[in-house]
Structure 1
């Protein structure tokens, strides 16, 4: 049934709903990274191996990747407010079950439930925020929402490491309970009478099955690929074939079905397509770097998980300060200029790291590029999200938000897999080349063995020490190569964003089309 559009929220109600929806997003994004550093602790406590423990991460990622693109269809069927309330409530219950799990099987089952119900949280928090904000303040809403998306992945490992070091790992999940309850109380109190129009749509059973199989297999091969040595594994080959076949048929089916479970017609909108491309590729590189850097600091430089997280934390300072300013003044300038500035700063920071990451690097050399990159983060999500949704009709914002968030989330998984795999493969290559220099015919090599032998070290100990140093050198060199590559890709992305067509007004799709005709 269709209802007349409600007036935007004002005053205290607007402030409270902004806080509640931002907390919901922060909680959901945080939960995708908070368990990563606690896997050794969880595995040891539940009596499982590390490889089995990684299913705590994989199970959440697979379930979440499947449920995000379904958000638009379910929101039309039951209403955005009801679906959001149900998702948050079930997320709290699943978090409680995760915390009280006494076996790995129970924890993985609870994480699957948690991932499935978490899917709608981020796209609906974005959609509800935009639909209840005055049009002139939507950029401010997006800026505040975007800040939580970028800061949460940084704080996840810090908080996860601190909790697992000082308390029972269950508190990684228990902290969602009071936050989720607060979100439910605030959101329901303000939005219970502001439900979006619903319509009864037939279930696209074929599309649903193809989506679950295709995206599920693709996410699993991303999560398991490195561990199983990618296409040297029969399991990965099988997953790849199933994923390619299922996703191909899914695209064909959804383009021809009258009531698709995923609305691919959104890609007819130029700005939506360009926005999704830019935000997904940029997020892929961003997530790849925030996964790579802590590992580099812990493996090579001996940082603890907490200190590796703290070294990354300065990236969140500038967005916290600039988000309100960009939200207020951003719409007054061409958003493509903001994105261009963001990508240039991203590229500059990656080149900066490539120059400064060396064996004698101190904490400041890590923290300063992170701090400066905060300027790129602040000018990234709000402008690109606005561009993405600018030629989408208001009634399709939930569907467009869920599809763009799905592509961005999937790109993050791809970025993680590609980055970590490239890092180890390049290290192996550099290790081989550097090792070739250590031989009896190299005067420097002979001198090193003689000098260290005089210190009381045996030939075996010297070889082990040199091997460790070569490994560290290889890891640093390969990380720097990745930083160089990422910087170059950001500069290439500058070209694509200028294909977007102004004006950039969220929910203005219908107006654009009527103006064109």
Structure 2
């Protein structure tokens, strides 16, 4: 009888453990909102960047630091988050980060000079970088295994939808209200976030002594290595790469940083991040594929608005609606992903997602000077399917490939790979766009000179259309001829860029065969 009673009690406790209380869901809501705001602020400012540059007195080159400052500080913070959580406690750390994210958002919104804006963006990046991986920590620690699938689906949508909605929201605010509200928008949201954190997370005692015993060599190495590398990738083309003393110095800083990080793996009792997870065949493959996914996610989201602005004459708000298309399949597929991961081999899902990415890129290789937003509908929807399939599948493959005690390190590296991939992708675009544009302009210019029969016919057509407009029609026709050559060269350059990104994805697909199948009957969760 006692045994039966004990068994009944155990069953009752097990049943209760399968349902999270209201406080747990408040915590999950806080993590979801935090990660959404952090990812949103990567792209929301890009839409308003030309306007911001003018108001803070920055040139085009100087203005890029408004985006670069955020990306660099965020990518440095993401891998450090696990150590901060262990030292300060999850609630303490998130309350600090949410508060600083709010304060630095206000500083950005009030900025009247470039240095003031850059300081604000650096602070935003450090605080926001902590909000992304900790969202997964909340799901893993506050929800029972049976309900973690819902929490991870919510997180997956925020990570994808943040960068997608950002350009549209930033463009709309800039066109209809003011760019300042791209930052002030964070204030009421973060106020709600702070309330949810206080209600949903338990207080944990901070281990302040951990600051003294920390792996400071590794922390320095991580900051210098990732920070230096990201700046080199972001600014390399503008500075003409290694023709610039600035890029050479930063490259040396990054090299020293990574060397210090590797040394810390040997000499530190508890390294700030365990790089040994990269030696795991399955996780190493995930890391490389996530670099490719980051390249596509951020690279394509940069190329399409640029093409629509320069070729089709779209404003930022109109381009934002085109980018929003890729979020539609994500919204529908993300809730289904936990079930798909249970019944379909994770390798098949990853390959399917990468194939969608590659096909989407190759579809965009037939752009013309007449292409408009509707041209990108099919590719954007296909990329949305790819994001839903690949992102969550890769995350789950990453976590299942490492021991539980290394899940935090794996999560940090996984999220850092996404952002680092984005920086690599943008660096590739900047470099190849410059070189391929020069190449196509020279080829078209030599093939269709004003002295060739085709060039003469075209000039006569333009001159006829301009007759009666006043001025020197011959000179106007020559100017229009040169503009048309430049426009066609630009379109051909974008076709080349989409081909390059499609090839990158194709090269990443074989890595999926290195993944391990998920354990049968295992609960799907991301940490």
What is the TM-score normalised by the length of structure 2? 0.89
- Deviation at residue 453 of structure 1 after TM alignment: 2.5
1:115-134 aligned within 5 A: 115-134=125-144
1:185-196 aligned within 5 A: 185-193=195-203
Residues 99, 350 of structure 1: alpha-carbon distance in 2 compared, 3 angstrom cutoff: same
Distance 2:321 2:56 in 1: 28
Distance 2:487 2:338 in 1: 43
State which drifts further: 488-497 or 86-95.
488-497
- Deviation at residue 499 of structure 1 after TM alignment: 0.9
- Cα root mean square deviation, aligned: 2.5
Cα shift readout 1:295-337 (whole Å, capped 9, x = no counterpart)? 0110111111111111111100111111111223422221111
Cα shift readout 1:387-426 (whole Å, capped 9, x = no counterpart)? 0011333343333212221122111111111123212221
Distance 2:322 2:238 in 1: 27
Cα shift readout 1:488-510 (whole Å, capped 9, x = no counterpart)? 3323322111211123557999x
The one of 471, 474, 494 aligned to 2:509? 494
Query: Does residue 473 of structure 1 match 2:473?
Result: no
Aligned residues, how many?
504
Distance 2:442 2:354 in 1: 35
Distance 1:443 1:9 in 2: 78
State which drifts further: 410-419 or 449-458.
449-458
Q: Which runs of 5+ in 2 are unaligned?
A: 1-15
**2:382 matched to which residue of 1?**
372
The one of 359, 364, 367 aligned to 1:353? 364
Question: SS state of the match for residue 501, structure 1?
Answer: coil
Question: SS state of the match for residue 244, structure 1?
Answer: helix
- Deviation at residue 54 of structure 1 after TM alignment: 2.3
Contact 2:296-2:357 at 8 Å conserved across structures: no
Distance 1:198 1:335 in 2: 41
Query: Does residue 208 of structure 1 match 2:223?
Result: no
Residues 441, 40 of structure 1: alpha-carbon distance in 2 compared, 3 angstrom cutoff: closer
The one of 296, 301, 322 aligned to 2:307? 296
Question: SS state of the match for residue 503, structure 1?
Answer: coil
Query: Does residue 271 of structure 1 match 2:282?
Result: yes
Distance 2:24 2:216 in 1: 38
Residues 507, 145 of structure 1: alpha-carbon distance in 2 compared, 3 angstrom cutoff: closer
State which drifts further: 497-506 or 472-481.
497-506
Contact 2:217-2:260 at 8 Å conserved across structures: no
Contact 1:97-1:110 at 8 Å conserved across structures: yes
State which drifts further: 194-203 or 145-154.
194-203
**1:515 matched to which residue of 2?**
none
Residues 320, 159 of structure 1: alpha-carbon distance in 2 compared, 3 angstrom cutoff: same
Contact 1:67-1:116 at 8 Å conserved across structures: yes
Residues 40, 79 of structure 1: alpha-carbon distance in 2 compared, 3 angstrom cutoff: same
- Deviation at residue 199 of structure 1 after TM alignment: 8.6
**1:463 matched to which residue of 2?**
478
- Deviation at residue 8 of structure 1 after TM alignment: 6.4
Residues 390, 454 of structure 1: alpha-carbon distance in 2 compared, 3 angstrom cutoff: same
- Deviation at residue 365 of structure 1 after TM alignment: 1.3
- Deviation at residue 128 of structure 1 after TM alignment: 1.4
Contact 1:33-1:156 at 8 Å conserved across structures: yes
1:107-122 aligned within 5 A: 107-122=117-132
1:44-63 aligned within 5 A: 44-63=54-73
Distance 2:449 2:482 in 1: 13
Contact 1:20-1:186 at 8 Å conserved across structures: yes
**1:182 matched to which residue of 2?**
192
Contact 1:139-1:386 at 8 Å conserved across structures: no
- Deviation at residue 9 of structure 1 after TM alignment: 5.5
Question: SS state of the match for residue 35, structure 1?
Answer: helix
Cα shift readout 1:73-103 (whole Å, capped 9, x = no counterpart)? 2222122232222211211121122212233
The one of 82, 95, 102 aligned to 1:72? 82
The one of 170, 175, 181 aligned to 1:160? 170
**2:229 matched to which residue of 1?**
218
**1:3 matched to which residue of 2?**
none
**2:13 matched to which residue of 1?**
none
- Deviation at residue 479 of structure 1 after TM alignment: 1.3
Residues 259, 477 of structure 1: alpha-carbon distance in 2 compared, 3 angstrom cutoff: same
1:301-380 aligned within 5 A: 301-355=312-366, 357-380=367-390
Contact 1:144-1:327 at 8 Å conserved across structures: no
Q: Which of these two proteins has the greater Rg computed from alpha carbons?
A: 2
**1:512 matched to which residue of 2?**
none
Residues 441, 102 of structure 1: alpha-carbon distance in 2 compared, 3 angstrom cutoff: closer
Q: Which runs of 5+ in 1 are unaligned?
A: 1-5, 510-517
- Deviation at residue 239 of structure 1 after TM alignment: 1.6
Contact 2:288-2:508 at 8 Å conserved across structures: no
The one of 42, 49, 57 aligned to 1:39? 49
Distance 1:422 1:354 in 2: 15
